[in-house]
């Protein structure tokens, strides 16, 4: 049976898509989306499928970036992927942005940082749950950690690749069976509320 996977990356201002057919890249595209993911995602997927001479009905698997990243971009990408997986009754694999960047940059053992709100940063360490830290606290942890032997990757300088997302998803699919209703467990990786939610909470406390 053919294995055809569409990967959807919407964590930042660039929309990334990739199609793999039987383990090989069939096509990919990047579109400067800004905050227009909801306007262009469906049409961009259709365009890439047409370019690769495929239809939605040919897809056997989907993959999506779960973040952290743009609240709007992640929400749009994951909602679209969940809906499509449910409609086609095919598995959906979620991969975090941290995993994508680590593989993409060959930095699986590095600490990876991404900007959060204000001076805070998202931090991922190998085998450690992701956290949000004030930058001074991150600097103190780095100073304590093996005195400079820790490599640090600033994820904000790297554009995540839909191709790498697809490759990671295919590895996960090969390692274990992913059920057709896996979309039910795929949600954005929000490590903290949005700015609007934080401001709303602050106003309620006053």
Tokens of 91: 């598995």
Give the H or E element holding residue 115.
strand 111-115
Predicted structure pTM score: 0.88
Predicted local confidence at residue 50, as pLDDT: 97
Predicted local confidence at residue 197, as pLDDT: 44
pLDDT tens by residue, 66-75:
999 888 999 9
- Cβ burial 28-52 (10 Å sphere, 16+ → b, else e): bbebebeeebbebbeebbeebbeeb
Predicted local confidence at residue 192, as pLDDT: 53
Predicted local confidence at residue 16, as pLDDT: 98
Q: What are phi and psi of 69, to 5 degrees?
A: 170, -150
Q: What residue spans define the domains of the chain?
A: 4-106+158-197
CATH architecture of 4-106+158-197: 2-Layer Sandwich (3.30)
The stretches in the chain having pLDDT less than 50 are 194-206
């Amino acid at each position: 049976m053919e294995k055809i996977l569409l990967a959807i990356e919407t964590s930042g201002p660039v929309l990334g898509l990739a199609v793999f057919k039987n383990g090989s890249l069939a096509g990919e595209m990047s579109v400067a989306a800004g905050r227009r993911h909801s306007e262009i995602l469906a049409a961009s997927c259709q365009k890439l499928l047409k370019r690769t001479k495929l239809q939605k009905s040919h897809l056997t698997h989907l993959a999506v970036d779960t973040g952290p990243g743009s609240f709007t971009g992640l929400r749009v990408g994951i909602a679209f992927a969940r809906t499509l997986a449910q409609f086609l009754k095919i598995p959906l694999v979620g991969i975090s942005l941290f995993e994508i960047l680590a593989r993409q940059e060959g930095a699986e053992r590095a600490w990876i940082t991404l900007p959060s709100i204000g001076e805070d940063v998202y931090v991922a360490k190998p085998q450690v749950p992701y956290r949000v830290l004030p930058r001074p606290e991150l600097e103190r942890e780095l100073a304590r950690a093996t005195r400079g032997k820790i490599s640090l990757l600033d994820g904000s300088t790297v554009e995540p690749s839909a191709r790498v997302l697809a490759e990671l998803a295919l590895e996960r699919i090969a390692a274990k069976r992913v059920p057709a209703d896996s979309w039910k467990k795929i949600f954005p990786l929000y490590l903290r509320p949005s700015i609007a939610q934080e401001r709303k909470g602050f106003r309620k406390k006053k």
